[in-house]
Amino acid sequence: MSRPHLFFMTDLQQYLRPQDPDEGSPLDDKVEEIELQPASPGSHFEPEIEMLQEARKEWDSGDYTQAVQSYEFVLEKYPQKFPKDDLVELALQIAEIHYELGNYDAAKKASNLAVNSAQMSKQRDRANQILGRVAVAEYRFADAENYFAAMTKDSKHRLNPGTLLGRIQMHLKCRQTKKAYAVLQDLEKYHINSDTVRPTLSSKNPEYLVYKAYIELLMGNERRALNSARELVPRCHKNVHLLAILAEIFLTASQYQESERVADEVLRRCPKNDQALAIKAHLSYAKQDFGAARNYASKACESNTRNFYAQIIFVQLAARDERYVEAENMGKKILLECPEFALMHAVLGDIYFDQDKGKEALLHYRHTNDLMAAPTKGGHLRQARMHMILGEYREAVKILEPLVEVTHTYSDEAMTDLLVCYDVMNETEKAKSLWEKMEIRKAFYHRMGRVMEMVSKGKDGAKAA
């Protein structure tokens, strides 16, 4: 006797990961989460159904690696037991979990299988969305754009909201705040707050809300962004893709404990998730545990050799040790691969600034502003440095003094720059007060020690350090 059709919105859905009622494929109608039903006493399921039940339990418990292996076993051993649409749905499930695990080649393989086999546009859209996310993670933005653009337009010829969400993710990955905000406005205008047609994306869609919180943070609305992010953490507790972005939001806002909690939750389920490992690397660097920073960055790059966010750690560590040629070469190599990566332009500007190459530093800082213009701590530091390059030391001091009050990624740089400003301005008492803090830190930041030595000798050359 043949099995009944297990179309993914009915029976099979209970064996797959549940969806948020406002999530799913952006053009889909809302679906209710289906709880896994336990077998009744004495009941018997066929082997493939028992394996699917086991896979769902493994996913629920957070064992993503074992879960995806179970789903793959069903797909490979029992393809004849399922209709074609269900096989595509299983392939999509496998692709999504591999993406979250950081197994990008496996995610691409399963997604391509779904694209080539899917008869329904919604399934092809989901496959292209996963392929686009993988391309973003690998900083292949031209490929990502092609995948996102391939998603189905609606009857009004509007871009799929998934296309716009993908573009926002892509721009945020590059820290291109202005472009991300422009796409967000289009998403809201045509799909969420449309006055002419039925909205196609819920205003409660978690991916939309996470991206909106990140953009608000990068545009200076820190309090609102953090409030939104904190509300979204429990909502996204089983969405590793969004949890990793929330961890990055907390990191960018210098909320290190919250960032670490969320990143650790991602790594509990997906130990090789390179995005979470990169966040741990930046967290360690911000806490000035440079050995751990290098270790996490290395692990991230082992999972994904094109994780340029992790590679920035190696650039910054080389610059701290005044290995400027090495740092500069690494930074240029990243920009050769990904010229739109605003954060790398900022870091390369820092390298030139440390070497008193004001013209080159100013060029990269201005380019960063054109792409990013984010009032983060790093953004404030670079604004101060532009003032210093132009000889506007009093303006620089106004920005730098608040930056030395708390520990963060750029604390040492800010203290060193502030000492230079005080020295040039003959603010002796303020320089002495800052000196005590710097005595403790100078062993960890070579430029700081060099600047202190010049100031102590009374050389005018402190400015050139």
CATH of domain 1-152: 1.25.40.10
pLDDT per position as a tens digit, 36-50: 344 444 444 588 888
- The letter for the amino acid at 194 is S
Q: Three-class SS of residue 458?
A: coil
Radius of gyration of the chain (CA): 25
Return left, alpha or beta for 425; rule: phi > 0 is left, psi -120 to 50 is alpha, else beta.
alpha
pLDDT per position as a tens digit, 231-253: 999 999 989 999 999 999 999 98
- Name the band, by pLDDT with cuts 50, 70 and 90, for residue 14: low
Angle between helices 141-149 and 161-173 (to 10 degrees): 170
- Name the band, by pLDDT with cuts 50, 70 and 90, for residue 21: low
The pLDDT value recorded for residue 428 is 86
The pLDDT value recorded for residue 438 is 86
CATH of domain 154-269: 1.25.40.10
What mean pLDDT comes out for the span 152-178?
89
| Of 49-53, 111-115, 241-245, 315-319, the least confident | 49-53
CA distances from 20 to 94, 160, 239 (A): 18, 19, 9
Which is more confident, 179 or 19? 179
The pLDDT value recorded for residue 17 is 62
Place of tokens 């030395």: 404
What mean pLDDT comes out for the span 256-280?
97
| Of 1-10, 101-110, 146-155, 231-240, the least confident | 1-10
DSSP state of 327: H
Q: Strands of 28-141 (E only): list them.
A: none
The pLDDT value recorded for residue 450 is 85
- Name the band, by pLDDT with cuts 50, 70 and 90, for residue 7: very low
Stated length of the chain: 465
**With 0-12 CB in 10 A as exposed, 13-18 as middle and 19+ as buried, what is 367?**
middle
Angle between helices 358-371 and 342-354 (to 10 degrees): 160
The pLDDT value recorded for residue 464 is 47
Q: Does the pLDDT of residue 10 top 60, yes or no?
A: no
Task: Please tell me which of 68-72, 376-380, 411-415, 433-437 the model is most confident about, judged by mean pLDDT.
Answer: 68-72
Q: Does the pLDDT of residue 8 top 80, yes or no?
A: no
CATH 1.25.40.10 in the chain is located at 1-152, 154-269
Return left, alpha or beta for 435; rule: phi > 0 is left, psi -120 to 50 is alpha, else beta.
alpha
The pLDDT value recorded for residue 405 is 82
Question: Could you tell me which residues come within 8 angstroms of residue 312 by beta carbon, excluding any fewer than 6 positions away?
Answer: 282, 334, 343, 344, 347
What mean pLDDT comes out for the span 211-223?
93
Which of 384, 379, 383, 374 lies closest to 420, judged by CA?
384
pTM of the model: 0.85
Q: Does the pLDDT of residue 30 top 80, yes or no?
A: no
What mean pLDDT comes out for the span 114-143?
94
Burial 232-244 (b: 16+ CB within 10 A, else e): bbebbeebbbbbb
Handedness of CA 385, 390, 391, 397 (dihedral sign): negative
- For 289-293, the CB contacts below 8 A with 24+ separation are 290/317, 290/320, 290/444, 293/317
Which is more confident, 387 or 446? 387
Task: Please tell me which of 189-193, 263-267, 379-383 the model is most confident about, judged by mean pLDDT.
Answer: 263-267
With beta carbons less than 8 A apart as the criterion, state whether 130 and 101 touch: no
